Amino acid sequence: MTATVQTLNRLLPQTQCRECGYNGCLPYAEALISGEAAVNLCAPGGEAVMRDIAGILGKPECTPAKIQTKALAWIDESACIGCTACIRACPVDAIMGAHKLMHTVIRNECTGCGLCVAPCPVDCIHMQPVETDFLPQARHLAASDNPRFAAAEHALRRYEWQTARKQRDTAERKAMLAEREAATKAKQQTASATEHPAKPAFNPMDLIAKAMSKAQTQQERLVTSANRETFKSRQLEEAKQRAEYRRAQRDIKYGNEAEKAAALVFLRRYKAEQEALKEAKEAEKTQASK
């Protein structure tokens, strides 16, 4: 069998785990064909992949540098804060969720790469070992009947789909921004072509007068003792809540076990309070629109 990048890439499990030190399976295959990489770096492929690569390249077999245990990602939904970091890290779109909402793993699509674990700020993602020879467990996107290559083909199709989706999303966003900018320019041109009364020249004294008026209004609101105390209490409470939130974010990353536990409790409560506040505001809007 001729040694080509495509041939070597087909032998790899396509989990895109980066355990080999390269940014995915294809970059590793390219490094192999150029002689820059060793044949034993594929952790999820283990001995089988090492032997196949060594045979094609005509190099001696050796012990795999590392063997990755077959495991699926699992998210502790009670601890998830909905940050979407794991969704962005997953190379095959095997995690579902939305901003500030609970996330979950599509187990049949998970390749066990483990890339979602490190980005999680609350350590709620865990890798659970499974009794299977190859991941992912889903194979319906593959043409091969061989379990190993069927799993790799399915993972590759998912990875290619995700890459294309990201490129499409980026292109659509650029097009939307360009359309918005063009509409703004057209509106400005239309406005300049239409006769309008000349705007008065800028007068710095007008700006100073507005600032003084605003300051006087704020001062009048604090004239009474009750208003002053209410304002101060609200400011203190908001400052205290911001400080507690920043402290919890710090402790969840760098604190000891007790501090992490306390921070996790606070973040859960904070998340629940924010969601309740959001629901209350939406309910008020709905009531007002009736």
pLDDT tens for residues 155-214? 999 999 999 999 999 999 999 999 999 998 888 888 776 656 556 666 777 778 888 888
Residue 184, SS3 per DSSP: helix
Q: Which CATH number fits domain 71-165: 3.20.20.220, 1.10.357.10, 1.20.1560.10, 3.30.70.20?
A: 3.30.70.20
Provide, rounded to the nearest whole percent, the portion of the chain with pLDDT above 70.
92
**124, 264, 120, 96 alpha-carbon torsion, rounded to 10°:** 60
pLDDT digits (tens, 9 = 90+) for 107-162: 999 999 999 999 999 999 999 999 999 999 999 999 999 999 999 999 999 999 99
Q: Are 31 and 128 in contact (CB under 8 A)?
A: no
Closest to 94 in 3D by CA, of 77, 68, 74: 74
d(CA 103, CA 228): 44
d(CA 105, CA 117): 12
| pTM for this predicted structure | 0.63
Residue 96, SS3 per DSSP: strand
Q: Are 110 and 73 in contact (CB under 8 A)?
A: yes
Query: What is the pLDDT averaged over residues 36-51?
Result: 97
Residue 71, SS3 per DSSP: strand
At the topology level of CATH, where does 5-57 sit?
A: 3-methyladenine DNA Glycosylase II; Chain A, domain 3 (1.10.15)
Q: Are 22 and 37 in contact (CB under 8 A)?
A: yes
